[in-house]
């Protein structure tokens, strides 16, 4: 089975984020980056399918040279090959632009695949747009936010958690699937895997090679402002008689929070 897993380099959630107001972007100086956690679930699922049924796992990332670090981690976890679609453009938050790049890569570089796996969203933008757009551009069936996946010959069954139950989706392959937390538990890299990953080449594919024109690469999204969330105010501790404290809670919710 030929599988493509798409990953993204994202800021570490434990890092302190600073905003550059002049450029309306996240300041990257001193910021730690990691492989998007949801993409790890997608990669782990591909590796498990390969171990059970055989096949090839290729990992792809769109971004600048720094994205190669995320690809090296994927190789250390067990991916067979990794490819960097080099795009020097800063983060545009335009999911359609990224989806066009990925769809064209699938068509021209790989000639398609049996299964395209993504994380359900990327930390940072949190748009959850790219996988669905890729599926639409390629004319493929899709199942999103998947917590269980069963793959057979030419078909797959995906299970999605919905309010009050579980939804079962039947897919014909090739298809697009996005991974949710709970699908599996991603493995750690081994020392052997890390050493092997350092020796593997990561081919670079340019946007020019993909034949994408200026209009296709033009961002349709304009960032008009980017700010950190406001600091939380200190909470209030109510002491004394429980009945009095309950009445005070109601008053605060009505008069100050104005949610009653």
Asked whether residue 202 falls in the same domain as residue 242, the answer is no
Q: What is the mean pLDDT of residues 62-80?
A: 95
- Determine, yes or no, domain membership for 73: yes
Asked whether residue 251 falls in the same domain as residue 212, the answer is no
Q: What is the mean pLDDT of residues 134-145?
A: 97
- Determine, yes or no, domain membership for 125: yes
- Determine, yes or no, domain membership for 208: yes
pLDDT at 203 over 90: yes
Q: What is the mean pLDDT of residues 42-70?
A: 96
pLDDT attached to residue 16: 81
List, for residues 168-182, the tens digit of each pLDDT value. 999 999 999 999 999
Asked whether residue 19 falls in the same domain as residue 89, the answer is yes
Asked whether residue 97 falls in the same domain as residue 181, the answer is yes
- Determine, yes or no, domain membership for 224: no
Asked whether residue 236 falls in the same domain as residue 123, the answer is no
Asked whether residue 16 falls in the same domain as residue 117, the answer is yes
Residue 187 pLDDT grade (very low, low, confident, very high; cuts 50, 70, 90): very high
Asked whether residue 20 falls in the same domain as residue 107, the answer is yes
Asked whether residue 32 falls in the same domain as residue 86, the answer is yes
Q: At 132, list the tokens.
A: 């669905």
- Determine, yes or no, domain membership for 225: no
pLDDT attached to residue 236: 81
Considering the entire predicted model, what is its pTM?
A: 0.86
pLDDT at 183 over 90: yes
Range of the domain at 9: 2-217
pLDDT attached to residue 229: 76
Asked whether residue 191 falls in the same domain as residue 256, the answer is no
- Determine, yes or no, domain membership for 118: yes
Asked whether residue 87 falls in the same domain as residue 197, the answer is yes
Can you tell me the distance from the alpha carbon of 29 to that of 66, in angstroms, rounded to the nearest whole number? 13
Task: Count structural domains, the chain.
Answer: 2
Asked whether residue 50 falls in the same domain as residue 171, the answer is yes
Asked whether residue 149 falls in the same domain as residue 253, the answer is no
Instruction: Check which CATH number belongs to the domain holding 101 and give it.
Output: 3.40.50.620
């Amino acid at each position: 089975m030929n599988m493509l897993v798409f990953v993204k380099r994202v800021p570490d959630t434990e890092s302190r984020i600073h905003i550059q107001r002049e450029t309306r972007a996240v300041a990257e100086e001193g910021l730690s980056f990691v492989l998007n956690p949801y993409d790890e679930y997608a990669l782990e699922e591909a590796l498990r399918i390969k171990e059970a049924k055989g096949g090839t796992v290729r990992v792809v990332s769109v971004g600048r040279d720094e994205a190669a670090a995320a690809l090296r981690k994927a190789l250390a976890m067990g991916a067979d090959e990794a490819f960097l679609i080099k795009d020097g453009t800063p983060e545009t938050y335009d999911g359609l632009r990224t989806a066009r790049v990925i769809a064209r890569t699938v068509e021209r570089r790989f000639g398609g695949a049996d299964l395209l796996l993504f994380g359900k969203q990327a930390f940072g933008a949190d748009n959850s747009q790219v996988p669905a757009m890729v599926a639409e551009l390629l004319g493929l069936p899709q199942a999103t936010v998947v917590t269980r996946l069963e793959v057979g010959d030419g078909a797959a069954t995906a299970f999605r958690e919905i309010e009050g139950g579980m939804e079962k989706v039947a897919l014909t392959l090739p298809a697009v699937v996005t991974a949710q937390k709970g699908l599996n538990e991603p493995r750690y890299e081994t020392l052997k895997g890390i050493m092997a990953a350092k020796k593997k080449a990561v081919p670079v594919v340019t946007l020019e090679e993909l034949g994408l024109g200026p209009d296709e690469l033009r961002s349709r999204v304009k960032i008009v402002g980017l700010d950190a969330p406001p600091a939380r105010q200190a909470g209030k501790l109510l002491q004394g008689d429980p009945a009095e404290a309950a009445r005070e809670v109601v008053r605060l919710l009505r008069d100050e929070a104005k949610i009653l």
